[in-house]
Amino acid sequence: MRDRTPQILTKVIDTLHRHKSEFFEKHGEVGMKAEKKAISLLSKLRNELQTDKPIIPLVDKWADADIWNQYLEYQKGLLNESDRKPSWFQSPWLFVECYMYRRIHEAVIQSPPIDDFDVFKESKDQNFLESQQSVMVLCTHFQQLTSCIEDLDENKLKNEFFKLLQISLWGNKCDLSLSGGESSSQKTDILNSLEDLKPFILVNELEHLWSLLRKFRDTRKKTAIVRVDFVLDNSGFELITDLVLADFLLSSRLATEIHFHGKMIPWFVSDTTLRDFNWVIEHVKHGNHEPMAKCGAAWEKYVQGGRWVYHDHVFWTLPHAFCAMPQIAPDLYAELQKACLIIFKGDLNYRKLAGDRKWEFTVPFHEALNGFHPSPLCSIRTLKAEIQVGLRPGLAEQLTASDPGWLTTGKYGIFQFDGPV
């Protein structure tokens, strides 16, 4: 918190400053004033953070402000000392990290007419553009796969499914919030590295996913819907790996429609918003590379035809654990209950699935979900935070002895399933 987050705020301030002339061209003097106001609010925020000031209520009128302020009161109540307020360094890490990104949003929306400016857009777009070679390799592989998908026997189809799931897992390494907003693009060919990376998968419950989706495929009536939901994490290369996996699910008839859940506001530097989702599909479609362009054109058709549906909801940018969803966002919980399978991507989603508690490493995943069971679900994440459950006895101790940073480096990954087996 002390080192990485001020660095991110400094980059945000710098980004606004670099767009000063663009704001002037678009909005004249009003744009210049807005830029100064946003920078002033962000500088104040950085100072509050660095000097461990109390967490203060939000003052904007955005849709979630009241829910946030109620949560701040709840955090204050946990201290049991009426004169003490939660402060930056004395509060749960997940809560203050979410709060910082929400305050960045507050600074921007309080500065019209630049209130729709995405301060992380440049770094997200750059991550995608720097990963072009890897995107081309993946799209080429996928186009070759779809050309013969009808001829694959069950075993080969399962192997291809598992391969794309692993690519989606290792794509999760591309996280800009953990690199302080510095480049974290994908520059190596993941396809050729999958075999070498297998020993770093600490929990592998992919067989359950295959059994579940195959059962739906084999028992459904012709008109039945098999819906798979993705709760997205990072834009850029990781999003491409998710879109390729989603395309495979439709092409292989393991699913009939895909629903994506992204963020309503810029979040944790690289998280996917609707703009990012559309921008990536558009850039793949217009890529100067035939397999890429074919993928992009197919994805656009899926969106236009309603087989791919994008949703966003304020809940995804609240600080609450997912077990609070039925109370805080019953409409979203009801939406997720329509899915046959929900794939939760990335570290932040995992922390919220498990309530960001200091669980024993061997606690079953089902128990850590604390009653959050809208539908069968699978978490796909590389480990970047000090929380992990569902490990076999002795594995955590073994890893701590051989690789002390194993929980936070993104070197290890998991596929954890919860649902009927």
309-336 confidence digits (pLDDT tens): 999 999 999 999 999 999 999 999 999 9
Q: pLDDT band for 188, please (50, 70, 90 cuts).
A: low
Q: What is the bridge-based pairing of β-strands 377-382 and 413-418?
A: antiparallel
In this predicted structure, the answer to whether residue 120 has a pLDDT above a threshold of 60 is yes
Mean pLDDT of all residues in the chain? 93
In this predicted structure, the answer to whether residue 277 has a pLDDT above a threshold of 80 is yes
Q: What is the reported pTM?
A: 0.95
Q: Convert the pLDDT of each residue in 44-85 to its tens digit.
A: 999 999 999 999 999 999 999 999 999 999 998 888 766 678
CA distance 55 to 273: 26
SS3 content of the chain, % helix, strand, coil (to 5): 55, 10, 35
CA distance 9 to 181: 10
Q: pLDDT band for 192, please (50, 70, 90 cuts).
A: confident
pLDDT at 186: 57
Q: How is residue 276 written in tokens?
A: 């990012």
Contact of 228 with 240, CB cutoff 8 Å? no
Greater confidence (138 vs 193) lies with: 138
Listed in sequence order, the DSSP H helices in 225-346 are 237-251, 274-285, 290-305, 325-328, 330-336
Q: How is residue 289 written in tokens?
A: 């590379």
Q: Convert the pLDDT of each residue in 130-151 to its tens digit.
A: 999 999 999 999 999 999 999 9
Average pLDDT of the segment spanning 9-18: 96
Contact of 41 with 106, CB cutoff 8 Å? yes
In this predicted structure, the answer to whether residue 183 has a pLDDT above a threshold of 70 is no
pLDDT at 1: 61
Q: Which helix (H) or strand (E) holds 95?
A: helix 93-109
| CB within 8 Å of 334: residues ≥ 6 apart | none
Scanning the structure block, which residue is given the tokens 């930056």?
A: 88
pLDDT at 172: 83
**Which of 153-157, 182-186, 284-288, 338-342 is predicted with the least confidence, judged by mean pLDDT?**
182-186
Average pLDDT of the segment spanning 375-403: 97
